[in-house]
Amino acid sequence: MSMSHLYGKDDDDDVEMEKFEITDWDLQNEFNPNRQRHWQTKEEATYGVWAEHDSDDERPSFGGKRSRDYSAPVNFISAGLRKAAAEEVIEEDSDEDEKPIKQEEFPKEFVPKKLKTGGNFKPSQKGFIGGTKSFMDFGSWERHTKGIGQKLLQKMGYVPGRGLGKNAQGIINPIEAKQRKGKGALGAYGSERTSQSLQDFPVVDSEEEAEEEYQKELSQWRKDPNGGKKKPKYAYKTVEELKAKGRIGKQLTTPQKELSQVKVIDMTGREQRVYYSYSQISHKHNIPDDNPQQPLGKDSKPQAFALPELEHNLQLLIDITEQEIIQNDRQLQYERDMVVNLTHEIQKMSEVLSHEETAISNLSKVLELVEECERRMQPNCDNPLTLDECAKIFETLQDKYYEEYRMSDRVDLAVAIVFPLMKDYFKNWDPLKDCMYGTEIIAKWKRLLENDQLLSHSGQDLATDAFHRLMWEMWMPYVRNIITQWQPRNCGPMVDFLDSWVHVIPVWILDNILDQLIFPKLQKEVENWNPLTDTVPIHSWIHPWLPLMQSRLEPLYSPIRNKLANALQKWHPSDSSAKLILQPWKEVFTPGSWEAFMVKNIVPKLGMCLNELVINPHQQHMDAFYWVIDWEGMVSVSSLVGLLEKHFFPKWLQVLCSWLSNSPNYEEITKWYLGWKSMFSDQVLAHPSIKDKFNEALDIMNRAVSSNVGGYMQPGARENIAYLTHTERRKDFQYEAMQERREAENMAQRGIGMAASSVPMNFKDLIQTKAEEHNIVFMPVIGKRHEGKQLYTFGRIVIYIDRGVVFVQGEKTWVPTSLQSLIDMAK
């Protein structure tokens, strides 16, 4: 046995050194107590250590350096890595396994078995059959040795009772042996697995699979009873399989169809071949090769029947037959589909035929009715056709034969039949004398002839709508003729005529009449109108056209205002005819244009009239004042208040002051004050400027009463003036409270949500909206006023509103402030 695993060599001086470290051989030798001992040969007994050794497998002695045999031939070794000791041991084991060993040397129970343990055991080594019953007896035989094996295992992490390996995956108990019953071969008596192996490896083998595998292996050793000749197996294809294959091949997707027409060059054979689809490659035949037959080998047998040409021809015939079957199946399926399609076509054509027969029958009846109308329209007919009878015929066509009537050319039919009758019907018609004549007949023909598709467009298409063509060619000439003879100042009959026909005639025809016929006549008449000489007011023949023409009359308003302004240049307010002429135009002109006209032409005349007014408490002439106040509804309130502030109240207050300075009778002053105040309307009195003027008069009277302390005072004068002041202030307060109540009612009617989302109508509403946005309390102070103005609380601040300005109460006076500053102070 070689000891190379115990010794190492120094490459420099070739000195052999013994290594005392534990190797795999030591562990293998320690765990196998029945290992084969080295028997001393006769030569070793004679010469001892100087005996010659024929084998390197024997263990050398421990005595120093081995002598070298320089007479032996040179042995060359490969320049590779030195093998490990374990690999050398394996090679030595394989060498010893080749040596024949006599069976008589070992008892029967020591027949070697290959155990899968940590080491590799030689076949010549003696092994033990069974192990201990439990891991407690494991290694008990070491009591006869020094116990090096158990110690080595414990140092390497072995735990008694657990398997070997890094993860303790090894078995715990040694492999058990099971004695066979008889002398049969392996597996002849069934499974030979022990209870321990079934517990460690619980794999249940299928008996049927084992039996089948056994019979298969057994049949390989038996001789074929037919003399070794196997029957050829034939593969049959049914017609249904071929049909299914053809259907699958026919259903190609688009990419497959494209690939089926790709040019392919095949260079796999001896010659280059070109195919025009991949399917040709899959269906190409195995054409017999032209190469000469190769000589038969030593063990090969010559074929008794080898005709490749015949096999190729037969295969070609089979393929052709298959293709014919597939083509015939496809042709049959195509014919069946064609039969189904033709059946459906026959059904559709039969339906179309019945529909066409019905249409032909209806058209023939329609043709009979039209021919009857044509016959009765002849000049020498005994029963001529009337317009009412023709309308009934058209109603019959529309009710019973609607499809034919809708598809037919109604325009040509109406032109040929209805137009002559309509012309004869209106030949003696005068629209201004009998404006309702023919409205019912035309309304009936509108339902019969008007194209439904044009109703939504209100367009002009004479080629496709018979009614529009009828009105334009037959009715419009009469209207055009009568309008040319019509006088614009006689507007009543013409307005009545158009009002009666407005719902019958098309919209575009009405627009044409108003724009092209009526408006030019009115424009020309306005140019010829003179407000100074004409006795008929212009509004009497212009305003009746407002419902029909509306904004079309806008171009006429500017020349009318210019003519009126020229007529008012020499006008005096004492002439009330100007008001009668201008009043109808107040609602016609726009508010801006009307106000500008009044400020330019009327207000200066009224101001001159007020300047001429003489205020005399003893003998007062009120004509000039009445002339001015009479224009209150015509002139805006702001313009009228401006006139009074500039031309009336300065003189009036001056007269009052002079009267109070001459020991007056206060009862007469009170009556004079109340008399003048009653001359103004509530709307004028509600204006803040007018209030201020009358409050100023009350203050003058109060100062006059209170200042005359030492002189003569009329009895009860002071009390009367105080009572008058209190009464007037209370009336103002009641009037303002009533106005606020009306505004609150209007707000409640509109709804809280709508009022909150709407745009504020005045400055007070704007302040209230801002207060709601910033959660600030805004409410009136009941019974508290400053100079007649209602006081409000805005948070903790007291304010009042005067002419769109917010006044905040300061330390001594009221200070105006902005809305944003007010919000900041309230916060």
299 pLDDT higher than 60 = no
**Contact 1/25 with Cβ under 8 angstroms?**
no
**Contact 401/364 with Cβ under 8 angstroms?**
no
Please tell me the distance from the alpha carbon of residue 109 to that of residue 642, in angstroms, as a whole number. Answer: 148
Least confident stretch, 36-50, 304-318, 351-365, 714-728: 714-728
Q: Give the chain's mean pLDDT.
A: 75
Residue 168's pLDDT is 77
Global pTM value: 0.48
Q: Which residues contact 635 (CB under 8 A, 6 or more apart)?
A: 598, 602, 603, 606
- Summarize pLDDT for 603-613 with one digit per residue, the tens: 999 999 988 88
Give me the residues paired with residue 816 across strands. 807
Half-sphere exposure of 9 (CA within 13 A, CB side): 8
Q: What are phi and psi of 720, to 5 degrees?
A: -65, -40
Residue with the bigger pLDDT between 138 and 41: it is 41
**Contact 625/671 with Cβ under 8 angstroms?**
no
727 pLDDT higher than 60 = yes
Residue 95's pLDDT is 47
- pLDDT-derived band of residue 68, with 50, 70 and 90 as boundaries? low
Q: What are phi and psi of 798, to 5 degrees?
A: -100, 125
Q: What are phi and psi of 209, to 5 degrees?
A: -65, -40
Q: Hey, which bits of 10-61 come out as E strands?
A: 16-18
- pLDDT-derived band of residue 225, with 50, 70 and 90 as boundaries? low
% of the chain exceeding 70 in pLDDT: 70
Q: What mean pLDDT do residues 3-8 have?
A: 47
Q: Which residue has the tokens 């004398």?
A: 433
Please tell me the distance from the alpha carbon of residue 630 to that of residue 652, in angstroms, as a whole number. Answer: 19
Residue 63 CA to chain centroid, in angstroms? 100
- pLDDT-derived band of residue 343, with 50, 70 and 90 as boundaries? very high
Q: What is the DSSP letter of 197?
A: H
Residue 748's pLDDT is 67
Q: Which residues contact 294 (CB under 8 A, 6 or more apart)?
A: none
228 Rama sector, left if φ>0, alpha if ψ -120 to 50, beta otherwise: left
Please tell me the distance from the alpha carbon of residue 505 to that of residue 498, in angstroms, as a whole number. Answer: 9
- DSSP string of 605-617? HHHHHHHT----S
Residues in the chain: 827
Radius of gyration of the chain (CA): 68
Residue 686's pLDDT is 84
708 pLDDT higher than 60 = no
- pLDDT-derived band of residue 780, with 50, 70 and 90 as boundaries? confident
Q: What are phi and psi of 266, to 5 degrees?
A: -100, 115
Question: What sign for the dihedral angle of Cα 169, 174, 180, 184?
Answer: positive
Residue 340's pLDDT is 95
**Contact 447/399 with Cβ under 8 angstroms?**
no
Q: What are phi and psi of 825, to 5 degrees?
A: -65, -35
Angstrom distances, CA of residue 475 to CA of 55, 326, 468, 491, 534: 145, 79, 10, 21, 36
**Contact 199/172 with Cβ under 8 angstroms?**
no
Residue with the bigger pLDDT between 785 and 78: it is 785
- pLDDT-derived band of residue 746, with 50, 70 and 90 as boundaries? low
Angle at 285 between CA 283 and CA 286, to 5 degrees: 140
- Summarize pLDDT for 591-637 with one digit per residue, the tens: 888 988 998 999 999 999 988 888 888 888 888 889 999 998 888 88
Element (DSSP H or E) covering residue 793: strand 789-794
Please tell me the distance from the alpha carbon of residue 136 to that of residue 176, in angstroms, as a whole number. Answer: 16
Q: Which candidate, 668, 690, 669, 689, places its Cα nearest to that of 681?
A: 690
Q: What are phi and psi of 189, to 5 degrees?
A: -110, 30
- pLDDT-derived band of residue 130, with 50, 70 and 90 as boundaries? very low
Residue 786's pLDDT is 81
Domain boundaries, the chain: 763-826
227 Rama sector, left if φ>0, alpha if ψ -120 to 50, beta otherwise: left
Q: What is the pairing mode between strands 264-266 and 814-817?
A: unpaired
- pLDDT-derived band of residue 127, with 50, 70 and 90 as boundaries? very low
- Summarize pLDDT for 386-411 with one digit per residue, the tens: 777 888 888 887 778 777 767 766 66
Give me the residues paired with residue 786 across strands. 789
Angstrom distances, CA of residue 289 to CA of 174, 189, 305: 65, 56, 17
Q: Which residue has the tokens 């009228």?
A: 640
- pLDDT-derived band of residue 335, with 50, 70 and 90 as boundaries? very high
Please tell me the distance from the alpha carbon of residue 606 to that of residue 595, in angstroms, as a whole number. Answer: 15
- Summarize pLDDT for 449-493 with one digit per residue, the tens: 776 544 434 445 555 677 888 888 888 888 898 998 899 888 888
Please tell me the distance from the alpha carbon of residue 62 to that of residue 705, in angstroms, as a whole number. Answer: 161
Q: What mean pLDDT do residues 529-537 have?
A: 87
- pLDDT-derived band of residue 60, with 50, 70 and 90 as boundaries? very low
230 pLDDT higher than 70 = no
- Summarize pLDDT for 562-585 with one digit per residue, the tens: 999 998 888 888 888 888 888 889
